[in-house]
Amino acid sequence: MFTAAAIRWAVWPPFYGRQLLRQIIDIGYYSLPVVGLTTLFSGMVLALQSYTGFARFSAEDTVATVVVLSVTRELGPVLAGLMVAGRIGASMAAEIGTMRVTDQIDALDSLSTRPMQYLVAPRIIAGTICLPFLVLIGDIIGVFGGYLVGVYKLGFNPSLYLARTLEYLEFSDVFLGLVKAAVFGFLIALMGCYHGYNSGRGAEGVGLATTNAVVSASILILISNYLVTAVFFGN
Amino acid sequence: MSSTPKIRIDNIKKRFGTNDVLKGISLDIQAQESVCIIGTSGCGKSVTLKCLLGLITPDSGSILVNGVETVGQSRRAREDMLRQFGMTFQFGALFDSLQIWENVTFRLRQRTKLTRQAARDVAADIVTQLGLGAHVIDQYPAELSGGMQKRVALARAIADKPEILLFDEPTSGLDPITGGVIDNLIIDQVKKLGATTLTISHDMASVRRIADKVAMVHKGRIIWFGAVTDMDNTGVPEVDQFVHGEPFGPLTTGNSD
Ligand SMILES: Nc1ncnc2c1ncn2[C@@H]1O[C@H](COP(=O)(O)OP(=O)(O)OP(=O)(O)O)[C@@H](O)[C@H]1O
Ligand SMILES: [Mg+2]
């Protein structure tokens, strides 16, 4: 019900451009540091782990490939999704929940503005658009993290490492990651808005809404991650 | 014979779970009348006001505005109806993320294609009428004191000249002097607009200043409705107790059921 209404109002005029812009900056721009750091260190540890693992059957030179495939297909989207769920899902639920509790949503409504259109739609659109961009940047940073460890710690030849990185990488790997990211972005915003919108009364209600938004978004991310992957490999 | 009332609330009931809040509220408000609703905390005053705006749908009963049924009306009809209303909420409900001028002209800008500058001028004009400095229009609600926020909420409610004004505790939490100033602003603006007004208030001094008629809600019903001048000798013990603020009597604090 909420989902259907949210989608309907997202494509229905009037559009609130300034609200959308604000959300895009909030989600896209201000999440960059968190996503960057997460993917950087994940790329680094991945290089280290796969090196020590593959060294046991002398397959060390697959490190670059392992790093780039895991980052683009799995780690980039999932880690970025979870981090953004913590950051954005929580803040959306808190903001909208506070508006609910302090009657701001009722005020919006009584001032002839549909809260679904003014509050929910811009957030959902922004979430769905921004996450793929964040993940794309996260992918690059994650691969770069792997490269740093590969070259400076494990002693790979820089140009060889880069060649290995690109050798087995297909467009569909990156694309799969970005599709996942869009799905995650949608789910994060949806959960943030839903729980905020239906927040219980008082500060306690808002607190609970925030927790629920993060937990449900994280779980949905993990489940949909499996489903999207399964659908992709089904064909 | 009185004409069609501006607002007729007819036997509305509302329960939340097991909490039977409104057990049949009926109230007629004539055009250009100023009615105050009084009653102990939690007796359902705010819920009644929200029913009028369709923010809460009553379980049964009917609400006529200008003789037109508004319970269960279509969304389009409701949007048309809402244009006649201006409301201030108990907790202010100013939009935190918007500056004062955007708050005040919010609906005006949705409805008419006002330029930024024109909207700012309108906002500055209204807030100065309400005794605030024009510079506040560039501030955010959180930067204003409680009394200033109440004035801004008032400014937002009257900005596009509604016919019906609903005020939920416009003077609560203010010192008596600021409260008095707000009352006078309400009286002035209401006169200027020729509006019909429904105000919730706990503040008897304020009720005496702004009301023509007073309705007392108790246990989900209206137990007394009459002219403000008759408020002191109603012969209803609950009203006497409330009006004179006695701690002991038929009214007890806590939830009414
Ligand atoms: N959205 C809601 N969901 C559930 N219960 C509600 C809701 N709104 C109000 N109530 C309940 O209805 C009752 C009346 O609330 P209301 O806000 O109308 O009181 P009030 O008369 O305005 O009191 P006060 O003077 O303290 O503002 C309370 O018991 C409250 O808990
Ligand atoms: Mg109230």
Close Cβ partners of B123 (under 8 Å, ≥ 6 residues apart): B100, B101, B104, B105, B137, B155, B159
Q: Which of residues 66-95 of B touch A (CB under 8 A)?
A: 79, 82-83, 85, 87, 89-95
Close Cβ partners of B182 (under 8 Å, ≥ 6 residues apart): B147, B150, B151, B154, B170, B171, B174
Domain assignment of residue B231, given as a range: 1-84+182-257
Question: Mutual orientation of helices A32-55 and A121-148 as an angle, nearest 10°?
Answer: 40
Return the ligand number nearest the Cα of B21.
Answer: 1
Ligand 1, atom 17: closest residue by C-alpha: B46
B191 interfaces chain A, CB cutoff of 8 Å: no
Is B141 among the domain residues?
A: no
Order of strands, sheet of B164-168, starting from the edge strand that comes earlier in the sequence: B85-88, B164-168, B196-200, B34-38, B213-218, B221-227
State the Cα–Cα distance between residues B221 and B257, nearest whole angstrom. 11
Is B46 among the domain residues?
A: yes
Is B5 among the domain residues?
A: yes
Min Cα distance A113 → chain B (Å) is 8
B110 interfaces chain A, CB cutoff of 8 Å: yes
What is the average per-residue pLDDT within B168-173?
Answer: 88
pLDDT band at B215 (very low <50, low <70, confident <90, very high): very high
Is B38 among the domain residues?
A: yes
Q: State the count of interchain CB pairs (< 8 A) between A and B.
A: 49
**Whose structure tokens read 């997460």?**
A38
Is B126 among the domain residues?
A: no
Least confident of A58-72, A98-112, A133-147, B78-92: A58-72
Question: Above 90 in pLDDT, residue A181?
Answer: yes
CATH code, domain with B200: 3.40.50.300
What is the average per-residue pLDDT within B17-46?
Answer: 92
State the Cα–Cα distance between residues B210 and B203, nearest whole angstrom. 11
Asked if A107's CB is within 8 angstroms of B89's CB, the reply is: yes
- Total count of domains within chain B: 1
Question: Above 50 in pLDDT, residue B257?
Answer: no
**Whose structure tokens read 């949705």?**
B110
Is B244 among the domain residues?
A: yes
Which residue among A22, A103, A113 places its CB closest to the CB of B93? Answer: A103
What is the average per-residue pLDDT within A94-102?
Answer: 94
State the Cα–Cα distance between residues B16 and A1, nearest whole angstrom. 21
Helix (H, G, I), strand (E, B) or coil at B165: strand
Q: Summarize pLDDT for B117-169 with one digit per residue, the tens.
A: 999 999 999 999 888 888 999 999 999 998 889 999 999 999 888 999 999 99
Task: Sort out which chain B residues have CB atoms less than 8 A from A106's CB and list them.
Answer: 50, 53, 55, 89, 93
Average pLDDT over all residues of chain B:
88
Asked if B87's CB is within 8 angstroms of A110's CB, the reply is: yes
Q: What is the pTM of this model?
A: 0.88
Asked if B106's CB is within 8 angstroms of A102's CB, the reply is: no
Provide, rounded to the nearest whole percent, the portion of chain B with pLDDT above 70. Answer: 97
Is B70 among the domain residues?
A: yes
Task: Sort out which chain B residues have CB atoms less than 8 A from A113's CB and list them.
Answer: 106-107, 110
Is B152 among the domain residues?
A: no
